[in-house]
Structure 1
Amino acid sequence: MMENYTYNSFTLHLEGLNVSKESIYPVFILIFLSYLFIIVANVGIVVVVVMEKSLHQPMYLLFGNLSVNDLLGNTIVVPRLLVDLLRPPSERVISYYECVVQAFITHIFGTTSHTALMIMAFDRYVAICYPLRYAVIMTNQMMIKLTVSAWGVAFVLVGILLGLTIRLNRCRTLIESSYCDNASLFKLSCENVSINNIYGLTFTVVLFTGSIGSIVLTYTKITVVCLTSKNKSLNSKALKTCSTHLVVYLIMLISGFIMIILQRFPQYSDYRKLSAILFVIVPSILNPIIYGMQSKEIRTFMSKFFESKKILPS
């Protein structure tokens, strides 16, 4: 194992995925195809939401926001991962600044995944519990405020997280992960990292508690409204939109929990690295599939788009 050459070195070694020679190309192709699908599907969703005026509604704009986040997270992680897969371990080198940027964006991605889904839960709550006041509450100004809040909270919390790590001196050069994150960066230091551990743990607890708490609260109120309402149309719409949102949220939550739990068990480092990659890739693949399939408006627009393409040549 390569380790520890110079003090405060600006050249780091990235451990990456440990894959056998026979598995390198199958794994490369699988990850590449997954990334290609993520790019095409999420760019497609963003383009559809922007182009189709009937989709200029809070729910679809928030969904487009989620797609932008998925594109950002995957683009900063996957291309670098694919390149490193084809390199021998000794040549997997990354500059310190590039590593910090990658860590910053991956944490922004993870945090915004939570804050964006919390706002989507609030949107569903207003739409189902206060349908007559929905247009008054969810105005364009409110949408801008909520979107800025989703990204702003992430930038502030992650900025402090990485700021506490950047201040540390480094005595190691090996990033023991498949890509750079805060934990792998502060582990390069031989100084006391108690503050980093305390803030990181507090950050995670606050984010997950706020996220789970808001989802439980909004869905409890939605369930109460649906059970007491005799409006079958309302109940059907609520079940459809809420089940979609809940599935997306649970996929993200479970993949996040697996990654955090495996951080505490160094003996399972290969599983931890794999779970970190799946945390980025899996929700980003499933989000456009789940929302795209469930949304009648998106399906209608896509069918019209492809029909017009068929008619054009003739």
Structure 2
Amino acid sequence: MDLFNPAEDQNVSMVHPEYFIISGLSNLPRIHLYYVFLFLVYIVSVLANGTVMTVICLDRRLRTPKYVAVFNLAFVDLFGSSALVPKVLDVFLLGHRRVAFHSCLTFLFFCYSCLSMQSFNLVALAYDRLLAIIFPLQYKVRMTHRFMLSLILSFWLLVLVLVAVATGLLTRLSFCKSLVINSYFCDHGQIYRLACNSHYPNYVVSCVYPVVIFWLPLAFILLSYMAIGRTLAKVATWRQRIKALRTCAAHLSLVAVYFTPLLVTFTLMENIHPDGRIVSLSLTSVFPPFLNPVIYTLQTQEIKEALGRLLRRAHCRRHEGTLK
């Protein structure tokens, strides 16, 4: 039996609808206030992540393997916010709830890719901290620009392949039922459940996807910090422990911001009202890009110092210009 083309589906022609209707946020009270909130969060996300990327590009002292991952995280946050929030506002605020079939799949592809890459970026940063604290003398030898770039590119390849498979499998489905997607974007799970032919491969992907994208990265991060804690308990003084933990503070904050809402949502999934789940997941999508650059700017001394140098340099140039 062909897994991707079951016998009962081989004589069924593919029926792709002209459009889907996204209706997830339409029935919530005072939803316009939420749209204003999303817009403000998006503006801050764009400005903050753009600032972090600019500072890393312009300051040579930040051209280290760690900040390759930080730059990629800011890029993913910026691109992901731009892929999601403007479309959500267009759909719900401007009333364009009909999204063309292929546009919906494109929307899904970019949103899932960016959300997934955020998780793997936290893995890259966790590995960086793991090497820096457990193998401090070998850190510069092991953690090179080439290694970090290879790691980031490998994660991108994994994410793009997995999301491409999930998106591509939707094209083999026939839709003869409702075309209403009860979510805030073109959600894979909501779409394949609308199909009238077998969607078993999509179901398999929907089971594998959270394990690869969510649970395995979270497990690696937790194990890495357990190893860090064990190392610090054995060989470090209290002053060294505090210094090491300070270097991890920003990353731990990012991990909490990304994984905590997902853990709460998945743990309480059956007890959460569908509308509450939609709002919770939408906040999970927009809050990390909003808070990540703020956290790194406030908790990372190198970025604060680099930002201060750039501002002083810009001020001096303006001052010299006025004197001329």
1:103-150 per-position Cα deviation (integer Å, ceiling 9, x unaligned) = 111111222111111111111011111111111111122112111112
Residue 86 of structure 1, CA deviation: 2.5
Q: Which residue of 2 aligns with 1:87?
A: 94
Residue of structure 2 in register with 1:292 after alignment: 297
* Structure 1 residue 22: Cα displacement: 5.5
Query: Which residue in the other structure is 2:47 paired with?
Result: 40
Q: CA separation in 2, counterparts of 1:139 and 1:308?
A: 29
CA distance in 1, matches of 2:238, 2:263: 36
The answer as to 2:17 corresponding to 1:9 is yes
Deviation, structure 1 residue 231: 4.6
1:156-194 per-position Cα deviation (integer Å, ceiling 9, x unaligned)? 211222222221111232121111121122122112222
Q: Which moved more, 1:283-292 or 1:204-213?
A: 204-213
TM-score (normalised: structure 1): 0.89
Q: Does 1:59 pair with 2:66?
A: yes
Task: Measure the CA separation in 1 of the matches of 2:122 and 2:193.
Answer: 31
> Would the aligned equivalents of 2:25 and 2:31 in 1 still touch at CA under 8 Å?
no
Query: What residue in structure 1 maps to residue 244 of structure 2?
Result: 238
Instruction: Report the equivalent of 1:101.
Output: 106
Q: Is the CA contact (8 Å cut-off) linking 1:102 and 1:181 kept in structure 2?
A: no
**How far apart in 2 are the matches of 1:231 and 1:150?**
36
Query: Within 1, Cα distance between the matches of 2:189 and 2:28?
Result: 26
CA contact (8 A) 1:259 1:276 kept: yes
Map 1:1-314 onto structure 2 (within 5 A). 7-18=15-26, 23-24=31-32, 26-88=33-95, 91-171=96-176, 172-231=178-237, 234-260=240-266, 268-311=273-316, 312-313=318-319, 314=322
Structure 1 partner of 2:5: none
- Percent sequence identity is 27
Aligned length: 304
Give every structure 1 segment of 4 or more consecutive aligned residues whose post-TM-superposition deviation is greater than 6 Å. none
Aligned CA distance change for structure 1 residues 34 and 260 (closer, same or farther; 3 Å)? same
Deviation, 1:259, is 4.4
Indicate if the aligned counterparts of 2:250 and 2:300 stay in contact, CA closer than 8 A. no
Structure 2: gaps (5+ residues): 1-14
C-alpha RMSD of the superposition: 2.1
Tell whether the 8 Å contact from 1:42 to 1:67 is kept in structure 2 after alignment: yes
TM score, norm. by length of structure 2 = 0.87
After superposition, what is the alpha-carbon deviation per residue over 1:38-67, rounded to whole angstroms, capped at 9, x for unaligned?
000001111111111100111111111111
CA distance 1:189–1:237, change in 2 (3 Å) = same
Counterpart of 1:191 in 2: which secondary structure?
A: coil
